[in-house]
Structures are given as C-alpha cells and as structure tokens.
Structure 1
Amino acid sequence: MSSSAVIIGASGGIGHAFETALIEEGVFETVHGFARSRPGAQHVDLLDEASIAGAAAHVAKGPPPTLVIVATGLLHDGNRGPEKALRDLDPAWLARVHAVNAIGPVLVAKHFLPLMPRTGRAVFAALSARVGSISDNRLGGWHGYRASKAALNMLIRNLAIEERRRNDRSIVVALHPGTVDTALSRPFQGNVAAGKLFDAERAALQLLDVIEGLKPHDSGKLFDFEGIEIPF
C-alpha cells in the first residue's frame, strides 16, 4: 500500500534536510513538508492548533502517513536565550519554550497519529535533546529548554503506550540529533568538540538510519544519532 511521510518544521536546517533526503530516496508516494514560514496548505504554526489540524486534513486526502517527524525546537530567539541561573527565569519565556518544544509536538501527534495505519510499521518521531534527560543532567542551567525537552520525553512515552493499544507495531520515539550546524545551535558552537558538529544533511541521514533500524520494543524511548538509547 502506498504511503506518505510528513515533516513538521521543514523550513529549518535539519527539517529541510529530512524533506530533501526523503524525496530523493523515493520510498514514499508523497512527502509533505510543513513549516510556519510556508504559505497555504504547507503552513503549520505549533502555537496554532488550527493550523496543525488543517495540515492533518490536507494529508488525510492522500496516502496515509507511515512516517511523521517533528523537526522543530526553540532554544533562543535573538532576544532571549537559555537561562544560566535562577535569576534569569522569566515566566513568559518558560511558557513559550514549553509551548514550542513540548506542547506543539504533542498537538501534532494528536492530529496525525489517528491518520497513521492501525496495522503494520509506522513511526512518529520528535526531535528532543540529550539535555532533556534528567538522569544525564550534571551541569544544570538552561532551565526552560531542559525542562521542555524532559516534558517532551514524558509525552513521547505516554503517546507510545497509548498508540501501542491501537497498533502494536507502531513506534513513537524522541531523537537526539547531536549538535547540528543550524541557527538553533550557532551561538553555542564554540564549546563543541572537534568532529561533533554535524551539518544538517549528515544529521538528517544519521537519524533516518536510526529510524530505519527501530523496532516496536524501542517505542517510547529517546535515541541519539548513533541509535544509542539515552535514559530519561
């Protein structure tokens, strides 16, 4: 049966690389790319659930999606960045970071998981981050970003449990792409070890390889770009 793939955040560095790679591979009949900056039927704003619902309705007109990737994230916006200490906490910024990094992806799941097949392999993946692992946190700081990604990881676990009841071969995962040379990481690349800064194309291909190797028992977990599980 023919199927489609969906990329949310397709105008970003890694999202666009996902879209390009999937089109070039030619596995899917249709590759849908959505982004806040795109017009018309390709427009999705994670802060606007109606736009997410509209995108899902558009996808529902064609082959069912067997791969959905949420390739979005907010770490800084040019005015504000990750907090270094308690004195930097701002409730409006915390709410915005959680809205983009945790609430937005789960709203995508709300509207897109029901479109995915009830039988056979299907993958829903959202980009998370190693810094969202509570057990791996040894440095502190970056309160909003860490907490929002930890929240995303919990939501992924919840979604995986619920989705398994609908399709026992479904896979719902969080993925850590490493440090990718995009606008999100650019202000912080000075501390990246040699060989650990990936271009977007390489990062996308690495994660697509990870996705290809996932099994149903991997659902509800967080994996890095090498396919190694990161404990929550």
Structure 2
Amino acid sequence: MSNAVLIIGGGSGIGLALAQYYAASGARVSVISRQPAPQHPKINWLQDNLAAETASADIIAKALTQQPDTIFICNGVLHDASGMPEKTIRQLDSDILAARFASNVQVPAMYLKLLFGYLCKQPQVKLLALSAKVGSIGDNALGGWYSYRISKAALNMLIKNLSIEVGRLNKTAAIVSIHPGTTDTELSAPFQQNLPVGQLQSPDATAKRLASVADRLTAAQSGNLLNWDGNVLPW
C-alpha cells in the first residue's frame, strides 16, 4: 500500500474517490484540482486554476514535498455544455475537438512535464494516467466518439513516450495509462441506460480497483495501457 499519493485532477468523480480511499487507508494524500478545497482535514489540497505553467510548477513543487510514491493523473472530459460525443464525423466540430485535446492531452502533458525530474529520480515511483478503453485503436470496433477517442489515443501515446524516456534514467519507475471501467460519475451519466448488469461501478468501488492495480504495478509493465483489472489492453 502506498505511503504517499498525489492525485492530479482530484476534485470530483474518480479522482476524489481515490483521494478519500487513500486518506482513509492512512496514506499522506495531496490533491491538485481547479476546485476549491472541501472540508477534509486528512487531504493536502492544492488549487490550480491552470492560469500559467509557472504557477502550476510551484504547486507541483509543493505537492512533491510529500514525496509521493504513487501518482494519479485524472484530468479528462468526455462531454460538457459545448457538445456530446459525435456519432458521425459529420458532427465533428474543430472547437470541441480542440477543447477535448486541451483537457485530455494538453493538461496531463503539462503536469507530466513538471513531474519529469521527480519521476526520473524517485525509486519505485508509480504513475497511472486515467485513459479509456475507447482510446484503444486495436479494440475499436464501433467507431464514433471522434474527439474523445482521438484525444485518449493521444494520451496513451504520451504515456508510452514518457515511459521510454523516464525508463532510460529510472529503471524502477512504472508509468501506465489505465481504463478505470464504467463508473457512476457525471462523465458516464448520459450513457448508463443500456449497460449490462454489474458493469457500472460506484466511484468508491473504482477507486479500490485502481488502488489494487497500483499496488501490484511493476516497472516491467511500464508503457502499457491497462484495464481496470490490471490486464493489458491493445493500443
């Protein structure tokens, strides 16, 4: 079990459930979020409005004083007021596509850049970026959801690239992207009606499953896209 955990994008949904799970387990927990801090005395909450990379760098530096051995990147958007997932390329909107890349790729990339030095020197450090099975090119048999699929596929490449670079300097690091499974959050709310019985998980259940994967994660798995149960998914 982790002694210290950093959760980036931990203001709601799976990220917040992870923070609460690890705090209840006795770990030192830091959260970076655009959301203001809730009333939770056991969580070191750092608010980042993403106004400037220099400000985000200062916040990362504060979080790393806790020396986390496990880091989760939970930033991501599937839909919002600007648009829902596309059923056809005819619905593709360049502004929405750019917004999905900003949330699902650019924000994680900035944080990973700021974490790079730490990842290269911290022994047995583990980093798990929340991705999605629909971002797997090899697993895609349905099509659709252009902006989300494309941006999550790009996130997976980002993680693969980073794992190679970090691995040259820190052979004990484990850096992966992971599909958390369908979870009862605002992200999945519009798409829950036709799910098979038992597929939808509570945020608390998903947090426990992800923590279990993190606990078993090794450097030999670095660079993979993992399923919520720890099995490798195709790129």
TM-score (norm 1): 0.92
Aligned to 1:213: 216
**Distance in 1, Cα, partners of 2:104 & 2:36:** 19
Aligned to 1:44: 48
Say which of 55, 58, 62 aligns to 2:59.
55
Amino acid at match of 2:59: A
TM-score (norm 2): 0.91
Structure 1 residue 136 corresponds to structure 2 residue 134: no
Aligned to 2:42: none
Residues 165, 45 of structure 1: alpha-carbon distance in 2 compared, 3 angstrom cutoff? farther
**Where does the alignment leave 5 or more consecutive residues of structure 2 unmatched?**
38-44
Say which of 70, 93, 96 aligns to 1:93.
96
1:6-45 map, 5 Å = 6-26=6-26, 28=27, 30-38=28-36, 42-45=46-49
1:1-232 map, 5 Å = 4-26=4-26, 28=27, 30-38=28-36, 42-45=46-49, 48-60=52-64, 62-116=65-119, 118-232=121-235
Residues 16, 164 of structure 1: alpha-carbon distance in 2 compared, 3 angstrom cutoff? same
% same residue: 38
**Distance in 2, Cα, partners of 1:128 & 1:47:** 24
Amino acid at match of 1:56: I
Residues 221, 47 of structure 1: alpha-carbon distance in 2 compared, 3 angstrom cutoff? farther
RMSD, matched Cα = 1.9
CA contact (8 A) 2:77 2:104 kept: yes
Residue 179 of structure 1 aligns to a residue whose secondary structure is coil
Aligned length: 228
Residue 138 of structure 1 aligns to a residue whose secondary structure is coil
CA contact (8 A) 2:82 2:96 kept: no
Residues 220, 80 of structure 1: alpha-carbon distance in 2 compared, 3 angstrom cutoff? same
**Distance in 1, Cα, partners of 2:51 & 2:22:** 26
Residue 205 of structure 1 aligns to a residue whose secondary structure is helix
**Distance in 2, Cα, partners of 1:93 & 1:48:** 22
CA contact (8 A) 2:11 2:35 kept: yes
Amino acid at match of 1:35: S
Please list the CA deviations of residues 193-230 of structure 1 after superposition, one character each: whole Å capped at 9, or x if unmatched: 11000000000110110111111110000111111110
CA contact (8 A) 2:119 2:166 kept: no
